[in-house]
Amino acid sequence: MEKRSWAEPYKIKMVELLKMTTREEREKAIAEAGYNTFLLRSEDVYIDLLTDSGVSAMSDRQWAGMMLGDEAYAGSRNFYHLEETIRDYYSYKFTVPTHQGRGAENILSQILIKDGDYVPGNMYFTTTRLHQELAGGTFIDIIIDEAHDPASTHPFKGNVDFHKLNNLVNDVGADKIPYVCIATCVNMAGGQPISLDNLRELRNWCDKHDIMLVHDMTRVAENAYFIQQREDGYQNKTVKEIVFEICDLTDAATMSSKKDAMVNIGGFLAMNDADLYEKACELVVVYEGLHTYGGMAGRDMEALAIGIKESVQDDHMSARIGQIAYLGRRLEEEGVPIVKPYGGHAIFLDAKAILPHIPQAQYPAQALAAALYVESGIRAMERGVVSAGRNKETGENYMPNLELVRLTIPRRVYTQAHMDVTVESVVEVMKNANEVKGLEFTYEPKMLRFFQGTFKQIG
Ligand SMILES: *Cc1c(COP(=O)(O)O)cnc(C)c1O
């Protein structure tokens, strides 16, 4: 049958009931949570768009795989299935499972980064940068300028700016750069892809300077879908083929399988270099577990192996991205300022434009996320100055250009009607935007403050 819309290539077999709350209940809940949506109880949330991490609906096949868990301490059958799947779909020779993505980031950073090193990347990610810093490194942003401009419609905002990369090498020398870290479908840029053309050029650049290329592959399938849709020469390639081609251009990868791969927990570090693999095996037993499970149950490794295969299907990906584009289109029709082009895992509201009366130092995106929850029980997340944290040298807030609220769409979970309710709620908040108040911290954690920080309203 000819494809007409983005409708889901699956039907619903089991449902999870949601609690409906009143506005009074939600006002109380958000105040008790210190205006931080991370601190709400899930049962007080109606539509949960906090994150796409670990919240996918698994398929009947994945659930069947859970029953095939080989829970041996060492050498689980499911590990070998996972390792083989990663080799076949992602090209990497060696796999070290970890409990989730940051476990892999920790091990990789500790092995490769020395005190005083610099790690260039196409925009920071919270946990990635923190592990680089904890290992003694400094993150350097080498993404193209368009990525920091919410109004730019550049099709590949995840691309690397080679002027920035060359400047860094000229300033500090290639031997101070252990690797370049490249994310596919850059989370903090709004789920924006890197092109294969740019990635190939980066591969050559890394070869020329003898620098490793590491891949944060958390959303590689979404990136591949955008390449298929937007990049010349890829229209007739499958998502699966493009995913392999992307991975094959890189030397090693960290993966949070809670995103693309549609499992509730898990991750891995993968690589082609036998020496790096040996070092990772030594460290994984310290922080995660034996190298054939690394913090994952056998059943979870089985569900992950199956999830990887499902994640690269063209039908799955066109429904996934189609749903997000639907939400984006509807919001735009209502005049809501959002980041363009639409992201791969989320639509990002431009909080600076929606709440111009709140200065960035009073956390407008944090305030907007709280107001959206009070309006309708929808839970979103801040991606602005709170997430950016403070410069470790000066102690000053990083002031990112992008001050965003992320409406993140879990995979295979919500319907078109949920998207419609979300649009209506955002529009309602915008109508009463001038009533939204700025915030100040009442508790500010030293690291990753967006997770557990609490606030109060100003005035
Ligand atoms: C989620 C995420 C991580 C960290 O993975 P966890 O599984 O949450 O530890 C790293 N990089 C990117 C781009 C992510 O989105």
Check residue 217 and give its pLDDT.
98
Q: Which amino acid would we find at residue 102?
A: R
Summarised one tens digit per residue, pLDDT across range 284-332 is 999 999 999 999 999 999 999 999 999 999 999 999 999 999 999 999 9
Q: Is 73 a catalytic residue?
A: yes
Mean pLDDT of 379-400: 92
Ligand 1 atom 3: residue of nearest CA:
101
Q: Give yes or no: 3 in active site.
A: no
Is 37 marked active-site?
A: no
Is the pLDDT at 152 greater than 90? The verdict is yes
Measured in Å, residue 333 CA sits from the centre of ligand 1 at: 32
424-442 tens-digit pLDDT? 999 999 999 999 999 999 9
Mean pLDDT of the chain: 96
More reliable by pLDDT, 402 or 280: 280
Q: What is the mean pLDDT of residues 13-31?
A: 97
**Rounded mean pLDDT of 230-239?**
98
The structure tokens listed for 278 are 């040996």
Chain segment 203-216, per-residue pLDDT in tens? 999 999 999 999 99
In the predicted structure, residue 1 carries a pLDDT above the cut 60: no
Alpha-carbon distances, residue 299 vs 57, 257, 292, 381 (angstroms):
16, 14, 13, 30
Radius of gyration of the chain from its Cα atoms, rounded to whole angstroms: 21
Annotated catalytic residue 342: no
**Ligand 1, atom 5: nearest CA belongs to which residue?**
101
pLDDT at 2: 55
pTM for the whole structure: 0.94
User: In terms of CATH, what superfamily is 23-52+314-457?
Assistant: Aspartate Aminotransferase, domain 1 (3.90.1150.10)
The active-site residue out of 139, 244, 450, 455 is 450
Q: Catalytic one among 259, 352, 406, 411?
A: 259
List all residues whose CB is within 6 A of at least one atom of ligand 1. 53, 100-102, 125, 127-128, 183, 187, 216, 218, 256, 258-259, 267
- Given the candidates 3.90.76.10, 3.40.190.10, 3.40.640.10, 3.40.50.12500, the CATH classification of the domain at 60-311 is 3.40.640.10
pLDDT given for residue 279 in this prediction: 98
Ligand 1 atom nearest residue 103's Cα: 9
Query: What pLDDT sits at residue 188?
Result: 85
Separation CA 312–CA 329 (nearest Å)? 25
Domain ranges of the chain: 23-52+314-457, 60-311
Are 23 and 374 in contact by the 8 Å Cβ rule? The answer is yes
CB 26, CB 429: distance < 8 Å: no
Active site residue 128: no
Does 208 participate in catalysis according to the annotation?
Answer: no
% of residues, the chain, pLDDT over 70: 99
Nearest CA to ligand 1 atom 12: 218
> How many Å apart are CA 402 and CA 104, to the nearest integer?
27
List of residues 6+ apart from 276 with CB closer than 8 A: 111, 112, 252
CA 102 to ligand 1: nearest atom:
9
